[in-house]
Amino acid sequence: MNDCIFCKIVNGEIPSYKVYEDEDFLAFLDIHPQSPGHVQVIPKKHYRWVWDLPNVGAYFEVVQKIARAQQKAFDTEWILSKIIGDEVPHAHIWVFPNKDVTGDPKDFEGNLKKIKENM
């Protein structure tokens, strides 16, 4: 989709802090984080809704991988996930530590490093 911001991130037209990438999925830090390490997990192919993906199980395996890394990186068991879909018309899942974790939500380089070291 030409005007989709997430498709532009997938295509490299807009820079991002990539936490994880494989053939089908991309996970990157949210630029308006709810807490340190807030990640968006998206399919690389454009789907409007999470429920439109043909293999939603593979999608959730990536989300689980990110959540487990965040638990270790931010020393918390409390990782939140959110699926609404009204902000950007491209399937996405928010995965982020509880707001009580310490750290600067806007320390993108530091938060990226913490998560990647625990993947």
Write out pLDDT tens, residues 90-100: 999 999 999 88
The structural domains of the chain, with segments of one domain joined by +, span 5-117
CA 38 to chain centroid: 7
Which has more confidence, 107 or 85?
Answer: 107
pLDDT tier at 68, thresholds 50, 70, 90: very high
For 5-117, CATH number out of 1.10.150.120, 3.40.50.10790, 1.10.1040.10, 3.30.428.10 equals 3.30.428.10
pLDDT tier at 1, thresholds 50, 70, 90: low
- The Cα-based distances of 34 to 12, 13, 87, 112 in angstroms read 24, 24, 14, 15
pLDDT at 99: 86
The pTM of the full predicted model, rounded to 2 decimals, is: 0.95
- The Cα-based distances of 29 to 11, 44, 50, 55, 105 in angstroms read 16, 15, 19, 23, 10
pLDDT at 86: 87
Q: What is the mean pLDDT of the chain?
A: 96
Active-site positions?
Answer: 92
33 sits in the region (left: phi over 0; alpha: psi -120 to 50; else beta) called beta
pLDDT tier at 118, thresholds 50, 70, 90: very high
